[in-house]
Amino acid sequence: MDQNIIEDIHDADVAIAVQAGRYRDNPAVEAAGEASEIADQPPAFTLAAAAVALGLATGRPRLIEGGARTLAALFVATRIKSAIKSRVVRTRPYKLLDEGEYETGLSGPDERDYNSFPSGHTADAVAAARAVSRVAPDLAVPLYLGAAAIGAIQIPRATHHLADVVAGAAVGLVAEALVDGGVRLVKRGLND
């Protein structure tokens, strides 16, 4: 790909984040941002574990499987996301808006303000939505819409750039696909 095209895409991505980030103090953006915290690691893992526990307590195998798949997908997504964040430097939009500072590249500061790429909230939301929809396909549309909303709100919140959100979604899909592949292998082995 032509270097100028890559730079143009990058510049547009930063410009979108700056424009959208100007709405971060809007009450609706703040409320949606707070709601999106359900996809942060502690609450996401807690909800998945609660689903497993509830499934065990009530004898509901699909709930157990959905919760277990979600736990595994969240774990894998977190590992992938963390590995990328520790190597890729990208200033979060709020730092650019507040301080005029922007940095991108490899092997820079491994701190929250500089590890915008990829979006962990989006990775977790997509991984969980896909994992649950494997055992409850009738919930797929609302789950995917919820995951999309969680990813989208990160941009006007000024916590992520659009490319971070897209990359987070890809991480979530890959993580869940790896878990699903493992589940299929185990099930095939049990049936043989």
pLDDT at 109: 80
What is the residue range of 54's domain?
Answer: 3-191
pLDDT at 190: 82
What 8-state DSSP symbol labels residue 88?
E
**Residue 67's closest CA among 39, 84, 83, 45?**
45
Instruction: Return the CATH number at 134.
Output: 1.20.144
**Structural domain count, the chain:** 1
pLDDT at 110: 81
Instruction: Give CA–CA dist 132/180, Å, rounded.
Output: 11
Give kind and range of the element (H or E) at residue 104. strand 104-106
pLDDT at 34: 97
Q: What is the mean pLDDT of each run of 10 residues along the chain (192 residues)?
A: 84 93 96 96 97 97 97 98 94 94 86 93 98 97 98 97 98 98 89 76
